[in-house]
Each structure stands twice: as structure tokens, then as C-alpha cells.
Amino acid sequence: MALIVEQVLNGLQLGVTLFLLAAGLTLVFGIMGVINLAHGSLYMIGAFAAALVAQAAGSWWLGLLAGVAAAAITGMLIELVVLRRLYARNHLDQVLATFGLILFFNQGITILFGRQPLMVALPAGFQGSIEIWPGIPYPSFRLLVIAVGLLVAAGLWFLIQRTRAGMLVRAGATHREMVRALGVDVRLLYTLVFGLGALLAGLAGVMTGPIGNVQVGMGEQILILTFVVVVIGGIGSVRGALLGALLVGVVQTLLSGFVPGWLRQVMPGSEADALGAALSSMGVYVLMAVVLLWRPRGLFVPHA
């Protein structure tokens, strides 16, 4: 019982991290029609900037600010310098260009920091565990991650559904030409949306820092999962991204938590672990294939 609760919470924590990444990606996808493979690089940049500042300043919270700011600024620079020229191009050119960006950023970080993973200390006050249920302790930092993720989700909902900027974003996702025709400065809107997406990606990177390793290539590992989330949720739908992220996070965590154990009952330990890890990694892709075969455009389709 305790194990299941713990795994579900771990799944939620992975889920909200994925949501932070997927929210930006799905907006950029839905509104600008751009496939941005370099979204994972922004996640990496956020994590590295936060790790660096946290070490130098001795405060995780200053690192948080630095990481988020670094990712947002890099994101807007990418939009201004590169992606702006690619909106009218086909997906292939976008894939090639952002693939180039990945190589550039990964190698740039390698030059600056080397290949050794950076360790980030847990912030003061969040080092211990909290007893969430009698007899079930859970690390408080992971609870913080979940809380931040859910807060961001609520904030995004408010921003998109209840503000003027959000109205433009929604309109831009479904009736791009009409928004342009009404005289909205679409270029500025695009840059800001991209910056917001980058900021959230950076936040995801910062929040992952103390739990996982901060290293080159961390962006690509999670990028593919993020794409799975975006496609399952329906491209352009933030609601879909949240649902898809939680679904993928929980399914992935539960499978990798329990499948090796089941397999160990029928085959030798080391083989069971290897096959179990493989099967649980396959799980989310099976989930995505099934969702797409059932609903070719994802769970939530913004009305077009």
C-alpha cells in the first residue's frame, strides 16, 4: 500500500515536470505551427544556470530565479534569431534547424561545464520527509515539485481563459489569420508565447536539478516523452497537455516500479530487470499508439 502511494506520487511528480515542458511546447506547436526540437535544450539551460548560481550564491532560490530567467531569455533569442524565419517553412526545415540548435547547445554546455553531471543540493527547509499518511513518509522537495506544477497549471488556466493576452493566445491557436487581420501584433505575441514556454521549460529543469542529474543530454531524454504527452493530449491544448502529462508520468512510473518485480517471479533476476525496464519504457509508447489509433488527433482538440 505504502509502495503504491509512493509510486503514484512519484508518477505525479514526473507528470507535472512533463506538464511544464509540454505546456510550452503545445502552445508553440498549436499557435505558431513550429516543431521545436530544441525545447529540451531550454530545459537543460535552466537546470545548468540554476545549478551554477545555486552553488555560487549558496541559495537554491536564487538559482531558481537565474535558471528561469536564463531559459526565458535564451528562448526569446532563439525565436528572434532563428525560429521567426521558419514559421512559413515546412516541418522538415524546422526539424533540421532545431536539430542544429540541439547540437550547438549540447556542445556549448559541454565546452563550458564538461561531461560530468552537476549535483544540486536540496533547498534549505526541503531536505527531509513529511509524513503524508501515518507510516508513509515522502520527501518534501518532491511534494514541492508537485505543488509548483499544479500551481503553474492553475496559473496558466487563469492566464489563458481569463485574461486578454490569453484570449489572443486562444484565438491565435484556432484562427491565426483572423487575429492577424484584426491588427494584433502577432510577432510580439509569438515572441512572448515562446518566452513563456521557454520559461516553463527552464522551471522544469530547475525543479528536476536536485532530484536527477544535471548533465548534457538531459534535454533529449525528456523531450521525446514531452512530445508523447503533447500528441496524446492533442496539439495546442494546454488542458490536454496536463492530462497527458499526468497520464504518462503515472503510467511510466508505475510500470517501471512494478513490472520488473512481476517478471522476477517467472525468470532469473538480472534478465527480469533488463526486460522489465525495457517493457516499462515501451509502455508509454504503446499508450500513445493506442490513443492515436483511437483518436488520431489526440484526446483534446482545440476547436478549429
Q: Mention every residue, 6+ apart, whose C-beta is less than 8 A from residue 272.
A: 260, 263, 264, 266
The residues facing 207 across adjacent strands are none
- The yes or no reply on residue 96 touching other proteins (CB under 8 A) is yes
CA distance 79 to 73: 10
- The yes or no reply on residue 99 touching other proteins (CB under 8 A) is yes
| Residues 228-267 within binding reach of other proteins (CB under 8 A) | 228, 231, 235
Grid cell at residue 122: 536540496
- The stretch near other proteins (CB under 8 A) out of 58-66, 91-99, 120-128, 144-152 is 91-99
Smallest gap from Cβ 99 to other proteins, in A, equals: 6
Interacting residue with other proteins among 47, 227, 237, 245 (CB under 8 A): 227
| DSSP per-residue string spanning 18-29 | HHHHHHHHHHII
- The yes or no reply on residue 95 touching other proteins (CB under 8 A) is yes
Site mask, other proteins, residues 29-68, x = CB under 8 A? Answer: x-----x-x-------------------------------
Q: Which strand (E) or helix (H) includes residue 281?
A: helix 269-294
Contact present, 201 and 42 (Cβ < 8 Å): yes
Grid cell at residue 169: 493566445
Grid cell at residue 97: 534547424
- The stretch near other proteins (CB under 8 A) out of 116-124, 169-177, 223-231, 242-250 is 223-231
Q: In whole angstroms, what separates CA 197 from the centre of its chain?
A: 10
Report the interface residues with other proteins, using CB under 8 A: 29, 35, 37, 82, 85-86, 89, 91-93, 95-97, 99-108, 110-111, 220, 224, 227-228, 231, 235, 270-271, 274-279, 281-282, 285-286, 288-289, 292-293, 296-298
